[in-house]
């Protein structure tokens, strides 16, 4: 059984974002622990997603039919072009905060050399931001992008409570939100493990810094 056999990834993401589903990841098995929340009960938000989320379900990455760790990507004729852009270390330089404390992301400094390029690209291309920040810090991240003149046609974050490595999370976000929907012209990122993943699936990457961490 695949997660997609129960409901769409977009529907699940919307339910999590709206506070109707709580998601945790099994520490060893390819399972997500998905449960409806008290808010869903209070608002009687019952649909295919909330009715199905009552315990352990197949992990979203199990939907990828591939025997290798990274599922190769190829462009599809007729899809809109898009650039994928990382945030921390790419368009943003960490301010006076712990790297994992996204609540203070408003203190970050723009990486102006990269920001200027993205500003030019956003005039003619869709820009999708894919960050390792937790979904809890989505709002402060979106506000920072807007303040610095960066248009986020889409912004995808790490699911709440997800502690897996960045390359795994971003590959999953790619499968859910990009694959089969856009043709990727290029990716701006900095972290080596993520850059290696992007290149392994066949994307062109502009690595903006030495991301050996």
> pLDDT tens digits for 6-16?
777 678 777 87
Average confidence (pLDDT) over 115-119: 98
Residue 26 is predicted with a pLDDT of 59
- Please give the C-alpha separations between residue 13 and each of 19, 47, 69, 176, 178, in angstroms, as whole numbers: 10, 14, 23, 10, 14
Where exactly are the structural domains of the chain?
Answer: 3-63, 80-211
Highest mean pLDDT range out of 5-9, 91-95, 107-111, 115-119? 115-119
- 22, pLDDT greater than 60: yes
Of 62-71, 86-95, 110-119, 162-171, which range is least confident? 62-71
Which pair of structure tokens corresponds to residue 61? 């990455």
Q: What is the mean pLDDT of the chain?
A: 84
| Helix H or strand E encompassing 116 | helix 112-121
Binning pLDDT at 50, 70 and 90, where does residue 82 land? very high
Average confidence (pLDDT) over 130-145: 92
Binning pLDDT at 50, 70 and 90, where does residue 200 land? very high
Residue 97 is predicted with a pLDDT of 66
CA-nearest of 35, 36, 29, 33 to 56 is 33
Q: Decide yes or no: CATH 3.40.50.1000 for domain 80-211.
A: yes
- Percentage above 70 pLDDT, the chain: 81
Average confidence (pLDDT) over 23-28: 63
Residue 167 is predicted with a pLDDT of 92
Task: Give the burial string for 109-139 (b: 16+ CB within 10 Å, else e).
Answer: ebbeebbebbbebbeebbbbbbbbbbbebbe
State the DSSP code for 178. T
Average confidence (pLDDT) over 123-146: 94
- 66, pLDDT greater than 50: no
Binning pLDDT at 50, 70 and 90, where does residue 62 land? very low
Residue with more model confidence, 65 or 161: 161
- Separation CA 59–CA 77 (nearest Å): 29
Residue 89 is predicted with a pLDDT of 92
């Amino acid at each position: 059984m695949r997660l997609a056999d129960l409901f769409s990834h977009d529907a699940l993401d919307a339910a999590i974002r709206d506070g109707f589903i709580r998601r945790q990841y099994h520490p060893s098995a390819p399972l997500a622990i998905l449960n409806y929340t008290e808010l869903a009960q209070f608002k009687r938000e019952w649909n295919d997603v909330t009715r199905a989320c009552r315990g352990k379900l197949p992990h979203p990455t199990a939907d990828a039919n591939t025997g290798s760790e990274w599922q190769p990507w190829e462009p599809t004729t007729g899809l809109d072009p898009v650039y994928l852009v990382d945030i921390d270390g790419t368009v943003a330089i960490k301010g006076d905060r712990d790297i994992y404390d996204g609540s203070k992301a408003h203190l970050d400094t723009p990486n102006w050399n990269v920001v200027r390029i993205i500003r030019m690209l956003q005039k003619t291309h869709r820009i999708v931001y894919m960050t390792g920040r937790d979904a809890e810090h989505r709002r402060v991240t979106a506000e920072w992008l807007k303040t610095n003149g960066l248009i986020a046609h889409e912004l995808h974050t790490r699911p709440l409570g997800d502690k897996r490595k960045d390359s795994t999370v971003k590959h999953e976000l790619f499968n859910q939100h990009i694959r089969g929907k856009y043709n990727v012209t290029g990716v701006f990122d900095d972290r080596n493990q993520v850059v290696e993943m992007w290149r392994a699936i066949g994307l062109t990457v502009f690595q903006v810094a030495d991301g050996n961490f």
